[in-house]
Every structure is written in structure tokens, then in C-alpha cells.
């Protein structure tokens, strides 16, 4: 796989990817997906042979980088790209002054995926946009 992952200001492309994965595939409502926080976030975009195939965003609050809206198109799943996107998010978070911790809300089916990347689950399972999630964090 010949992918590239980099920080981006191309919100339109990120929104298009998230629409496919979250709204069309997973049935998340537009109101839940479009929360108005993208303008304050850092974004990473993954391309495969120059075609956008995944993205994520990072919200900074104090010493914590909250990774979210992580998505990979079907055709790129199972390739290791998801892990590479999370690694890129962690690398980006480390460049932010005072940030020492990364956090995310993981869909419960993805807990083991994030555990392999050093995240530890905490707290109860909760509903987010109709899907079961659990909070996870790790030191940077």
C-alpha cells in the first residue's frame, strides 16, 4: 500500500469521507456527525495513490488531545491504514505545547484495535450517536 498521511486544512474532503463512513454506512445522523467543532480541530487526511481514503480530527483541551471522527473507506480497511492514522494523530498531538495525553471514544467493536496502539479503556459503555462506545486514553 502506498498511502500518505498528513495534517490538512481540507475540511470538505474530510467531511465527504466521514459522510460515507458515519452517515451512509453506520446510520449516524447528520446532526450528530456535524457538531460544529471541526473549525477548532487539527485534521489528518490519508490518501492512497493520491485518492482520499481516511481521516481523523484532534481536539486539544488542556493537556489532552482528543482523537475523533476516525474513519477509513471500505476499500482501504484491513490494510493497516487505521493504525497509521492513529499513529499520525499521536505524532501530531505530541507537537502541541503541554499535551501529554491522548483520549478517544472508541466504538466497542474497536476496543482491541485501540488497545494494540497503547490505549486503555476506562469508565462504562455509553451511547454516542446510537452506537456503543467506551472512553480510552494513553500517555504520549
Give CA–CA dist 57/22, Å, rounded. 14
Q: What is the mean pLDDT of residues 119-140?
A: 96
Model confidence band, residue 80 (pLDDT cutoffs 50, 70, 90) = very high
User: What torsion do the CA atoms of 138, 103, 84, 22 make, to the nearest 10 degrees?
Assistant: 150
Report phi then psi at 101, rounded to 5. -145, 145
CATH assignment at residue 133: 3.40.630.30
Segment 97-108, tens digit of pLDDT:
999 999 999 999
Segment 10-38, tens digit of pLDDT:
999 999 999 999 999 999 999 999 999 99
Give CA–CA dist 90/7, Å, rounded. 12
pLDDT at site 1: 64
Q: How many CB atoms lie within 10 A of CB 54?
A: 27
Q: What is the mean pLDDT of residues 44-71?
A: 97
Determine the structural domain holding residue 113 and report its residue range.
3-139
Model confidence band, residue 2 (pLDDT cutoffs 50, 70, 90) = confident
Give CA–CA dist 63/97, Å, rounded. 8
Give the H or E element holding residue 29.
none
- As for how many domains the chain has, the answer is 1
Give the H or E element holding residue 86.
helix 81-94
Tell how far CA 45 is from the center of its chain: 10
Amino acid at each position: 500500500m502506498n498511502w500518505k498521511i498528513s495534517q490538512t486544512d481540507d475540511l470538505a474532503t474530510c467531511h465527504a469521507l466521514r459522510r460515507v463512513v458515519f452517515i451512509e454506512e453506520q446510520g449516524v445522523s447528520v446532526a450528530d456527525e456535524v457538531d460544529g467543532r471541526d473549525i477548532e480541530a487539527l485534521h489528518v487526511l490519508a490518501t492512497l495513490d493520491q485518492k482520499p481514503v481516511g481521516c481523523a480530527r484532534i481536539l486539544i483541551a488542556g493537556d489532552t488531545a482528543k482523537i475523533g471522527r476516525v474513519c477509513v473507506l471500505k476499500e482501504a480497511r484491513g490494510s493497516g491504514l487505521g493504525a497509521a492514522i492513529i499513529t499520525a494523530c499521536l505524532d501530531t498531538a505530541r507537537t502541541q505545547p503541554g499535551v501529554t495525553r491522548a483520549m478517544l471514544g472508541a466504538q466497542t467493536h474497536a476496543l482491541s484495535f485501540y488497545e494494540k496502539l497503547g490505549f486503555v479503556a476506562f469508565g462504562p459503555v455509553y451511547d454516542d450517536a446510537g452506537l456503543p462506545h467506551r472512553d480510552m486514553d494513553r500517555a504520549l
